[in-house]
């Protein structure tokens, strides 16, 4: 059985309904028992209850379209803390946290996220030199220049 990714996306948007969530990724593994993995996020994150509800709704739609005897597994999840931010809509809720940016030119910047716009982010870069840290004035980086961005997880 082959899943149509565009049809799955349509079904997923129906399943999300009025919830203020967006699709970060949708993948279908190419195995004997295909695994549909959906990663969702929202301005305030994603509640486990929303994952369960959307999973049930999407599962029903898949069964209706592909037949209830179709064999697949379905996982609806939120991005893990260690996952890179991949959608501009993921940034605003991380304002005030430290971000590690890898830029397309090969440089890396780490600092506190002070602003997020649809075009890019502003961070106050922290530079460590031997025993002291220097915080630079906020600088703007467009999403086009960012190769990867991760929230820096601190256990202090």
Per-residue model confidence as pLDDT tens digits over 45-64: 889 999 999 999 999 999 99
Helix (H, G, I), strand (E, B) or coil at 64: helix
Q: Alpha-carbon torsion 112, 117, 121, 124, what sign?
A: negative
Please return the burial class of 144, using the count of CB atoms within 10 Å of its CB with bins 0-12, 13-18 and 19+. exposed
For residues 39 and 27, give the distance between their C-alpha atoms in angstroms, rounded to a whole number.
9
Helix (H, G, I), strand (E, B) or coil at 132: strand
Per-residue pLDDT of the chain (156 residues), as tens digits, is 688 999 999 999 999 998 899 999 999 998 888 999 999 999 888 899 999 999 999 999 999 999 878 889 999 999 888 889 999 999 999 999 999 999 999 999 999 999 999 999 999 998 888 889 888 899 999 999 999 999 998 776
- Whether this prediction's pTM lies above 0.85 is answered by no
For residues 68 and 101, give the distance between their C-alpha atoms in angstroms, rounded to a whole number.
45
Contacts of 135 (CB under 8 A, 6+ apart): 111, 112, 124, 125, 126, 127
Helices (H), the chain: 5-16, 48-66
Task: State the CB neighbour count (10 A cutoff) for residue 146.
Answer: 19
């Amino acid at each position: 059985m082959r899943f149509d990714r565009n049809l799955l996306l349509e079904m997923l948007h129906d399943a999300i309904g009025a919830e203020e969530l967006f699709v970060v990724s949708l993948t279908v593994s190419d195995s004997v028992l295909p695994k549909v993995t959906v990663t969702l996020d929202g301005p305030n994150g994603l509640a486990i209850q929303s994952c369960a509800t959307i999973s049930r709704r999407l599962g029903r739609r898949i069964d209706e379209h592909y037949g209830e005897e179709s064999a697949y597994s379905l996982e609806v999840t939120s991005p893990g803390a260690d996952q890179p931010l991949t959608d501009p809509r993921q940034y605003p809720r991380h304002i005030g946290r430290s971000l590690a940016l890898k830029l397309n030119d090969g440089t890396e910047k780490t600092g506190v996220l002070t602003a997020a716009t649809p075009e890019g982010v502003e961070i106050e870069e922290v530079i460590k030199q031997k025993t002291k840290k220097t915080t630079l004035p906020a600088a703007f980086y467009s999403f086009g220049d960012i190769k990867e961005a991760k929230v820096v997880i601190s256990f202090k």
